[in-house]
A and B are shown apart, each in its own frame.
Chain A
Amino acid sequence: MIITTSLYDQLSALYADKETAANEGFSRLRAAAFDSFSANGFPTAKNEEWRFTPVAPFLKEAYHFQPAADAVSDGGMADLSALDAYEVVLNNGAPGKLPSIPGVKISALRDVLNSPAPQAYLGQSISLSQSSFAALNTALFSDGLLIEVEKNTVVDKPVLITHAYNAAWPFFAQPRLLVVAHRSSKLEFIERYVVDGQQALFVNSVTECFVAENARVDQYNLQVTPPNFHLVNFTQVSQRADSLYNNHTYTLPGASLVRNNLHLDLQASNTESHLYGLYLAGGRQLVDNHTLVNHANPHCFSNELYKGVLADAARAVFNGKIMVQLDAQKTNAFQQNNNMLLSDKAVVDSKPQLEIFADDVKCSHGSTLGSFDESSLFYLKARGIGESSARNMLVKAFAFDVTRQMPLAAVRDCVEALITEKMESLYEPA
């Protein structure tokens, strides 16, 4: 069934316009992507991957595809001024002034669409039929960022990408990021969001990240946004032999809808990947994290730790899938999801999923769901610590378990400070 919102029709019209103006090497990919989107439409609850995440209510706004306003970036809610980084600002999806980084090609995607890297990598690893939103982005994205790290280059400072949004009316944005780390290179990049104005914003972003042989990429995603913000994020990572990829995704109270899709494709052996996530949700927020780690080759290691703290009437969805293909012997794959519910209206739907076709593997997953541990609370109170401080302490202990996995101290401090601050507004002791 296809939701035929006016948005769907608008998008079709937009695509028709664009098609006539197309003058780039991607028309075939875009056409396939658009066909896939029009066939599947926006996902409904009947789609197993979207069972707990109804998007239709968020698509009702009369969205425009042009912001008709300039984004202003003044750092926003995630203060990273302590971080020494190369900075890039994407104003409503279009890159502003670009830094020059030795050994790194960094450009606005629209200017380089016909150059070798996008031609070789863009849209190559995403299964369009599996993800309607990613297909839509592929069909219609107009700009974004390309970061290409040359081989044997260790980028000395992290790259901080600020997505700044401000629109005069409800705005539907589709930014695209392409990150290519060539052989034996190293890159750290951080994404954060700055939102001005009160208009509804729907961001459907796609990031593709290629980690070549012996390369290392660390990706940070800090999602601290106001309630008028809606995010559907699709990250596709392809790892070649001996590579290392780390992902840190943090979602804090604010955005009404956050859906993160993180797909890891382990295309060669001896790779290592770590996925860390923390979601702290309040109000009527809906935070959904879907991860897929596809072990297609032997001797790969993946580890996943996602934790969630839910207050008020927040809803969280976690779906972690580990696939171990027939040839992927000697796989080590671990996954853990812990949830803490602070309010009796909060809802969690957790689905840790293992699909294993090889026998010589070590795989495990664990999922827990609960509230405060009474004995821990009692222990603290018996030592003269007040109820609310004790509870705060326990929540922090729970959450900082994830944050301490971040090697970049400036980012870690920023996130921990944000958690502490948000906790105070989230949890009102009874």
Chain B
Amino acid sequence: MENNNSNEILDDYIDKEYEFGFVTDIEMEVAPKGLSEETIHYISAKKEEPEWLKEWRLKAYQSFLKQPEPHWQNFELPNVDFQAISYYAAPKSGAKYKSLDEVDPALLETFEKLGIPLSEQKLLAGVAVDAVFDSVSVATTFKETLKEQGIIFCSISEAVKEHPELVKKYLGSVVPYSDNLYASLNAAVFSDGSFVYIPKGVRCPMELSTYFRINTQNTGQFERTLIIADEGSYVSYLEGCTAPKRDENQLHAAVVELIALENAEIKYSTVQNWYPGDKDGKGGIYNFVTKRGVCKGANAKISWTQVETGSAITWKYPSVILQGDNSSGEFYSVAVTRNKQVADTGTKMFHIGKNTRSRIISKGISAGEGQNTYRGLVQVGTRAENARNFTQCDSLLIGDRCGAHTFPYIESKNNTAMIEHEATTSKIGEDQLFYLNQRGIETEKAVALIVNGYAREVLNQLPMEFAVEAQKLLSISLEGSVG
């Protein structure tokens, strides 16, 4: 009896259209398509960058040219024509607003549709938003409040101009320009992104947040984020994305670098809901991101939390280099794939210092023809006495054509290390559904309940403001999914 019903619900769910697909009509200034040294000169000139940064970009470009396309990933790499992408797009109406009144109303409307009423941000519960509309920062709020404490929160191009010593010291120090193909591309052509510096001993009074949004057809977005937490400081950073519906694939190759000095803590949360393509896998964003943090000093802590529901292909491994003694790294992830979505995600924990700890919780949910891969590395070096790792990666399968894969690498060179890894794969238990049905909870709600419980451990890690959005996203993408 349930079966027919379940199939209907399942079909509904699988067919579900992307809810946030729309295009904002704003005049854009777009660079000509193509990638060459001239492109880099063009970007660098447009952004009025210093010579050292241009040199760095050019070196990255050379490195990009030398690297072959990777082939180890657990999906077929789509053919990305790097020459067909325009590497610079800026809203023409100018980039430097002093107040929100100057902002193009159409743009504000975009944020309105996304549920981020920028104009109301100041009144909201202490969230400062550095909204990146395509490539140029348009409005930064709460800057003054942050300034009082000495916190720098601005776009990276602004930081290059105003705090060159910090940018020069840390840019590329965690993800070098030669790290991988997409990181090199990003280093060569990155257009903008966020820059955060928390001074010694300061606890950032509010959650910092950026909403990314891809607009303009064929503009790959190459964001670069750099967060530095000086000794004894604390910051929580939120990143979230929704993208308009497009038929053409768009490449998103971002780089995020986190640096936590002694006793500092950085919490980085992501809710990712880029356009995933239609039910035949047409269109959708390629989300190829390099995220890495380093616990440079003793007792530092970096925590990554991600909720990945969008993108045709999500490919990223937020990692932590545990260099300082007693430092710790965390990775919490929920990845949902449906239709023909692919997620190849996980983390790398490099234990270098003594008494370092890491914790990895990964929850994959596959539905339709979605493929979900967890790929992780836990590496313990010879000097990392008493390193401790716990890894749990679970997969939930909904429907008989999806897949769940795990590729954990555990490499230990130290016998004082304690490493645990466990993984399970299953579908939603009939007995659990029956139990809930029997108590008068309909199947659809029961599934939502079970899935929410399944992902709870990760969702709990999100800051309040985000948890609401994440839960909404999960329930939208999973309502009616019946195992």
A residues near B, CB below 8 A?
A: 48, 52, 326, 329, 339, 341-344, 346-371
Determine if B412 is an interface residue (Cβ-Cβ < 8 Å): yes
Q: Is the CB of A365 within 8 A of B423?
A: yes
The size of the chain B interface, using a CB distance under 8 A, is: 35
Closest A-B pairs by Cβ, 7 of them: A341-B415, A359-B397, A369-B419, A367-B421, A350-B410, A363-B425, A370-B418
Please report the C-alpha to C-alpha distance between residue A341 and residue B404 in the assembled complex, in whole angstroms: 31
A364 engages B422 (CB within 8 Å):
yes
B313 within 8 A of A: no
Q: Check B405 against A355 for contact (C-beta < 8 Å).
A: yes
Instruction: Add 17 more A-B contacts to A355-B406, A357-B402, A363-B424 (CB < 8 A).
Output: A341-B415, A348-B410, A350-B409, A351-B409, A351-B410, A353-B408, A356-B397, A357-B401, A359-B427, A359-B483, A361-B426, A362-B425, A365-B406, A366-B422, A368-B419, A368-B421, A370-B419
> What residues on A are CB-neighbors of B406 within 8 Å?
352-355, 365
Majority DSSP secondary structure for residues of B touching A? strand
B37 at the interface (CB under 8 A from A): no
Is B417 an interface residue, CB under 8 A from the partner?
yes
Out of A343, A354, A365, A366, which one reaches B404, CB within 8 Å? A354
B72 within 8 A of A: yes
Chain A residue numbers with a CB within 8 Å of B422 are 364-367
Interface presence of B414 (CB below 8 A): yes
Quick check: A356 and B405 within 8 Å, CB to CB? yes
Flag B381-404 by CB within 8 Å of A: 1 or 0 each.
010000000000001011111111
Identify which of B72, B399, B419 contacts A48 (C-beta below 8 A).
B72
Asked, given contacts A356-B404, A368-B420, whether A341 binds B425 with beta carbons under 8 Å apart, the answer is no
Does B97 lie at the interface of the complex (its beta carbon under 8 Å from any beta carbon of A)?
no
State A339–B378 Cα separation when bound (angstroms): 15
Task: Check A360–B427 contact: CB distance below 8 A.
Answer: yes
Assess whether B435 is interfacial by the CB under 8 Å rule.
Answer: no
**Contact of B417 with A359 in the complex, beta carbons under 8 Å:** no
Closest B residue to A48 by CB, please name it: B72
Pair A371/B416 contact, Cβ less than 8 Å: yes
* Given known A-B contacts A342-B415, A358-B400, A364 and B425 have beta carbons under 8 A apart: yes
Q: Given A355-B403, A356-B397, A356-B404, is A361 in contact with B425 using a C-beta cutoff of 8 Å? A: yes
Is B162 an interface residue when CB atoms closer than 8 A count as contact? no
Q: Which residue of A lies closest to B414 (CB)?
A: A344
Q: Closest A-chain residue to B420, C-beta based?
A: A368
Contact yes or no, A329 B400, CB < 8 A: yes
Set A346, A351, A353: member contacting B415, Cβ < 8 A: A346
Q: How far is the CA of A195 from the CA of B106 in the complex (A)?
A: 82
Q: How many angstroms from the CA of A74 to the CA of B407 in the assembled complex?
A: 44
Give the complex CA separation of A291 and B465 in angstroms: 46
- Tell me if B469 counts as interface (CB < 8 A to partner A): no
Bitwise interface map of B from 420 to 454 toward A, beta carbon under 8 Å scored 1, else 0: 11111111000000000000000000000000000
Q: Which of A52, A348, A369, A370 has the most CB of B within 10 A?
A: A369
Sampled A-B contacts (30; CB under 8 Å): A48-B72, A341-B412, A343-B415, A344-B415, A344-B416, A346-B415, A347-B412, A348-B412, A349-B411, A349-B412, A351-B407, A352-B421, A354-B405, A356-B395, A356-B405, A358-B397, A359-B397, A359-B402, A359-B483, A364-B422, A364-B423, A365-B423, A366-B421, A367-B410, A367-B422, A368-B419, A369-B412, A369-B419, A371-B416, A371-B417
Q: How far is the CA of A371 from the CA of B406 in the complex (A)?
A: 25
Decide if B98 is an interface residue (CB 8 Å cutoff).
no
Q: Are A347 and B413 in contact (CB under 8 A)?
A: yes
Which residues of chain A are near B416, meaning CB under 8 Å? 344, 371
Residue of A343, A351, A356, A362 near B408 (CB, 8 A) is: A351
**Alpha-carbon distance A347/B398, docked complex (angstroms):** 39
Give the nearest-CB partner of B388 in chain A. A370
Residues 320-353 of chain B: 1 if any A CB is under 8 Å from the residue's CB, otherwise 0?
0000000000000000000000000000000000
Task: Specify which of B402, B403, B405, B425 lies most central, judged by the most chain A CB atoms within 10 Å of its CB.
Answer: B425
Contacts of B426 in A (CB 8 A): 361-363
Q: Which of chain B's residues have a CB closer than 8 A to the CB of A343?
A: 415
Cα A203 to Cα B242 with chains together (Å): 58
- Closest A residue to B375 using CB positions: A353
Residues of chain A with a CB closer than 8 A to B397's CB:
356, 358-359, 361
Among B408, B412, B422, chain A packs the most CB atoms within 10 A around the CB of B412
- Name A350's closest neighbour in chain B (CB-CB): B410
Contacts of A354 in B (CB 8 A): 395, 404-406, 423, 425
Residues of A within 8 A of B410 (CB): 348-351, 367, 369
A359→B72 contact, CB < 8 A: no
Task: Quote the shortest CB–CB distance from A346 to chain B (angstroms).
Answer: 6
CB-CB under 8 A from A351, the residues of chain B are 407-410
**Chain B residue with the shortest CB-CB distance to A51:** B409
Cα A278 to Cα B8 in complex, Å, equals 49
Provide the residues of chain B in CB contact with A326, threshold 8 Å: 400-401
* Chain A residues closer than 8 Å to B407, beta-carbon distance: 351, 353
CB-defined contacts of A356 to chain B, threshold 8 Å = 395, 397, 403-405, 425
Give the chain A neighbours of B421 by CB distance below 8 A: 350, 352, 365-368
Distance in angstroms from B406 CB to nearest chain A CB is: 5
A359 to B483, CA, bound (A): 8
* A326, A339, A359, A367: residue with the most chain B Cβ atoms closer than 10 Å: A359
CA distance A354 to B395 in the complex (A): 10
Q: Shortest Cβ distance from A344 into chain B, in angstroms?
A: 5
CB distance from A246 to the nearest CB of B (A): 24
A363 to B418 alpha-carbon distance, docked (Å): 24
Residue of A nearest to B371 (CB): A357
Chain A, Cβ-Cβ closest to B424: A364
Residue of B nearest to A334 (CB): B424
Q: In the complex, A350→B413 CA distance in Å?
A: 12
Closest Cβ of chain B: how far from A353's Cβ, in Å? Answer: 5
| Bound Cα distance A357, B405 (Å) | 8
- Whether the Cβ atoms of A367 and B408 lie closer than 8 Å is yes
A353 to B405, CA, bound (A): 7
Q: Which residue of chain B has the shortest Cβ distance to A354 in the bound complex?
A: B406
Q: Enumerate B109-144 residues with CB–CB distance to A below 8 Å.
A: none
Residue in A closest to B385 when the chains form the complex, CB atoms: A344
CA distance A371 to B404 in the complex (A): 31
Closest chain A residue to B407, Cβ basis: A353
- Residues of A close to B401: CB separation below 8 A: 326, 357
Q: Which residue of A lies closest to B373 (CB)?
A: A355
Q: Which residues of B contact A339 (CB under 8 A)?
A: 412
Interfacial chain B residues near A366, Cβ < 8 Å: 420-423
Contact A370 B483 (CB under 8 A): no
Return chain A residues, CB-CB under 8 Å to B408. Answer: 351-353, 367
B379 → A minimal CB distance (Å): 10
- A138 to B: closest C-beta gap in Å: 27
CA distance A163 to B20 in the complex (A): 67
How far is it, in angstroms, between the C-alpha of A371 and the C-alpha of B425 when the chains are bound?
Answer: 28
Give the distance to chain B from A314, nearest Cβ to Cβ, in Å. 11
Task: For chain B, residues 296 to 329, give those with C-beta under 8 angstroms from any C-beta of chain A.
Answer: none
Residues of A within 8 Å of B418, CB to CB, are 369-371
